[in-house]
Structure 1
Amino acid sequence: MKQQAFYQLAILGNAPESAVQEIENELSLRLSELGFTLHEEVSLFVGSPAEFNALGDRCTAVLCFPISDEFEMTMASLMNRGIPVIPVASYKENLPSEFPPLVSRLNGMAWKTDKATAITYALLECASLLPRNRRVFLSYRRSESTEAALQLYAALSARLYDVFLDTHDIHPGQHFQQVLWQRLCDSDVLLFLDTPNYFSSRWTDMEFTRAEWRGIPLLRAAWPGVIANPRVGLATTIGLSESDFFGNSHLSDEAVLNICNEVEDLRARSVAERYQRLLSTLKDSVAKGRGKIEGVTLRRSLIVATPNGTRIAVYPALGVPTSHTLHNATLDNHPSPVAVVYEEAGIDEQEWKAHMEWITHYVRGAVRLVSSHRCGWDFADWS
């Protein structure tokens, strides 16, 4: 049976055949850098909006070339589900004439002036398929599984993951606990090596507990003979047997491959789920102020319309926002200031806080950092 694709992309509407071919070529090239093959790990639908079946549990993103008004409700359905839609007009000034009103209001691109590389890059960014967005936290007992952890660190890094391993990623002089929890909050998946005494350690127990509380998906690599702790009920489990090891401590190449593939699958689903949770919190907060959300587009941005007529460009940020996150939010020519919205719980590293407070003081006129729980409050007086 063919495995379901990890990620789902689509080119909808009246796309020139030459444009489709150029975008497909660019996608194949960029995905190969991640070790993916187009139409295998990443699906691509090309055709009418009415025929596109968007899966709710996968990272999905859409390029929409010119369409008639009859497809407005179809596109509205995709947008209401939080699926990023990037309108691609012939020229940007033609957005109102080539798309229904609901779609033309989104931040779009132009096929005649934007290169296929830029359009492809925007699509991959919306689908969370850029290397800088791929993060895994590796949790393990040093006394029981260091060699296996190092193997997985190398294998996942080769797939262009940013892998957190405590022996590699905390520099001298840094506050160990603060950096640890900060990196955990910034991860897409917690991969924990469930050895006989994994839950006997205070640190690994806390890593598991806080990842679960933060809503980070859990992938359990279960050592032979280890009985599952009752707390791992929500984790995805890969059971390892004696044949998956050699030399008592090294994982076989096949076991490493299976774990890496499961990380990819879980990560693809988790990004979609976490984004929807953040979007839900944002919607609830905005709704309290009688505002509404108008759709998701470039860089997963969306427009919030407030009752007083103000339209605010909002960029939801999964994990820990940085100065790069703030800068990227200013690149789409929205009226200033734009907002970067994030889930603040657990993000407590003092060095990060001091840096973000310093930089947001100077860029407040262009971009602001806002908690998802209080954004409706802040948007009520946005100026």
Structure 2
Amino acid sequence: MNYKYQLIMLGSDVKEKQELLSQIDIELKNLNLPKEFIKVIPASSLETEYKGNQPAFALYFGDVNGDFKDLDAIQNLLKDGTMVLPIFFNDFRTDIPIILSNQNGIQYSNNEVNRIANIVLEAFELLRSTRKVFISYRRTESTSIAIQLYEALESNNFDVFLDTHSIQKGEPFQEELWHRMTDCDVIVLLNTPGFLESHWCKEEFAEAGAKQIGIVQLVWPNHQIKDIDSSSHISYPIQLKTDNFIDGVYDNKGRFIQTFVENVLQEVESVRARNLAARQDNLITEFRNIAEKNNRMVTVQPEKILTENRPNGEHIIYIPTIGIPQSTSCQSAEIKKELMGYDEVSIRLIYDDLRIRDRWLKHLDWLNDNFKKDIKTLKKQDFESWLQKA
């Protein structure tokens, strides 16, 4: 395999380096990508193995004693436009050299290993950088905890949807709710005793199945975990205990203890990659099946994109896009175009348009008609008609 993604490991020689690399291997497995997809380059091999024309991301592990290594390497990488993420252990100001003082860093801890691994994958466009979570709950039973999780997730750089906080006045409530669910990575479902007695909660549960969105299901004490059809849901149930709640109170005014909130954050981070990979695989499979039915020969590449070489000499790249295509999706497409080595190629961002608001679909159609000719979107309902073209 030709290495395309270079992960450069700089700084102190600490055991946390290997811990993080092991977690990255796990996340690549969750995404159904081989671990060889990322080439790990130690500082000692930078001059001989680093290629400036391929995507790179660097991690700098700080030193609690101020014994800073690889300063020349940092300077060269920054000049080359490579992003360097400082990782500190006690205090950023003492653990990290001045040359990285204007970079946002992250403190290493067991709770942050998943997050750091996902930051690496986001940097390489292997995992989308938007981190969207939808909280599904029954207002009369779990409002206080829903708000608590909203605040905790938001403070950890998630874009969180909570109906009472996330819909602007004057917007069509239910239409916007389905639209936002379509674009989320994970649903945190607060499964209280009366959750499925609510019509709209039941609808949200069904909608998650239709969209194949992963669910972190928090099941209240003395309440049974609901059976979920595994063919339509990816669910990760957690049976709650009274000691997960402050003073054991789990009514509508109850709140989780802080250590359990941190556990929920870790679970959401972990589920996110697995669910995005599953939805991406389903979209690829459906598109490929329709293509084969219409005698179109598309090939699935290791990068989990599809390519087609048409008889007329045209090259097409199909990029499965989870959620709602954005301008950043087009930027990602440009990167993949360069990695595939094509000069002349057209790109289609394929996506599932179920429950996306009509005004946004019209906006995407308008962009197709008025902007870049080589990058366009292709919605699921148009797969058949597009692939029927001669």
User: Under a length normalisation based on structure 2, what TM-score does the superposition of the two structures give?
Assistant: 0.67
Q: Residues 379 and 306 from structure 1, CA distance in 2 versus in 1: closer, same or farther, beyond 3 angstroms?
A: farther
What is the one-letter code of the residue matched to 1:252?
Answer: I
- CA distance in 1 between partners of 2:129 and 2:53 (Å): 30
Question: What displacement does 1:306 show?
Answer: 3.0
Question: What displacement does 1:186 show?
Answer: 1.0
Determine if the alignment matches structure 1 residue 145 to structure 2 residue 142.
yes
Determine if the alignment matches structure 1 residue 261 to structure 2 residue 260.
no
Determine if the alignment matches structure 1 residue 163 to structure 2 residue 163.
no
Deviations 1:57-85 (A, max 9, x none): 656675477xxxxxxxxxxxxxxxxxxxx
Question: What displacement does 1:324 show?
Answer: 3.7
Of the structure 1 ranges 338-347 and 324-333, higher mean CA displacement relative to structure 2 is found in: 324-333
1:215 paired residue number: 212
SS at match of 1:227: coil
- CA distance in 1 between partners of 2:362 and 2:189 (Å): 31
2:83 paired residue number: 117
- CA distance in 1 between partners of 2:129 and 2:3 (Å): 30
Of the structure 1 ranges 370-379 and 199-208, higher mean CA displacement relative to structure 2 is found in: 370-379
Q: Is the 8 A contact 2:315 2:346 kept in 1?
A: no
2:9 paired residue number: 24
Give the alignment partner of residue 186 of structure 2, picking from 185, 189, 194.
Answer: 189
Question: What displacement does 1:265 show?
Answer: 2.1
Give unpaired runs (5+ residues) of structure 1: 1-11, 27-31, 46-53, 66-87, 93-110
- CA distance in 1 between partners of 2:126 and 2:377 (Å): 23
Deviations 1:307-361 (A, max 9, x none): 44421022210111134424543454653532111112222x1331232232222
What is the one-letter code of the residue matched to 1:310?
Answer: E
Deviations 1:37-71 (A, max 9, x none): 723542389xxxxxxxx736656675477xxxxxx
Of the structure 1 ranges 350-359 and 164-173, higher mean CA displacement relative to structure 2 is found in: 350-359
2:68 paired residue number: none
- CA distance in 2 between partners of 1:43 and 1:374 (Å): 36
1:9 paired residue number: none
Q: Is the 8 A contact 2:33 2:302 kept in 1?
A: no
1:57-76 equivalences in 2 (<5 Å)? 63=37
1:69-84 equivalences in 2 (<5 Å)? none
SS at match of 1:42: helix
Give the alignment partner of residue 284 of structure 1, picking from 263, 282, 289.
Answer: 289
Deviations 1:185-206 (A, max 9, x none): 1112211101111111111111
Q: Is the 8 A contact 1:131 1:160 kept in 2?
A: no
Give unpaired runs (5+ residues) of structure 2: 12-16, 40-49, 55-76, 85-118
Q: Residues 158 and 58 from structure 1, CA distance in 2 versus in 1: closer, same or farther, beyond 3 angstroms?
A: farther
1:238 paired residue number: 238
1:319 paired residue number: 323
- CA distance in 1 between partners of 2:218 and 2:366 (Å): 41
Aligned residues: 307
Q: Residues 56 and 64 from structure 1, CA distance in 2 versus in 1: closer, same or farther, beyond 3 angstroms?
A: closer
- CA distance in 2 between partners of 1:304 and 1:91 (Å): 25
Determine if the alignment matches structure 1 residue 340 to structure 2 residue 344.
no
- CA distance in 2 between partners of 1:238 and 1:61 (Å): 29
Determine if the alignment matches structure 1 residue 355 to structure 2 residue 363.
yes
User: Whose relative contact order is higher, 1 or 2, with alpha carbons under 8 Å and at least 6 apart?
Assistant: 1
2:25 paired residue number: 43
Question: What displacement does 1:374 show?
Answer: 4.0
- CA distance in 2 between partners of 1:324 and 1:308 (Å): 30
Determine if the alignment matches structure 1 residue 175 to structure 2 residue 180.
no
2:105 paired residue number: none
Q: Is the 8 A contact 2:30 2:273 kept in 1?
A: no
What is the one-letter code of the residue matched to 2:83?
Answer: T
SS at match of 2:83: helix
Question: What displacement does 1:372 show?
Answer: 3.8
SS at match of 1:55: helix
Question: What displacement does 1:282 show?
Answer: 1.7
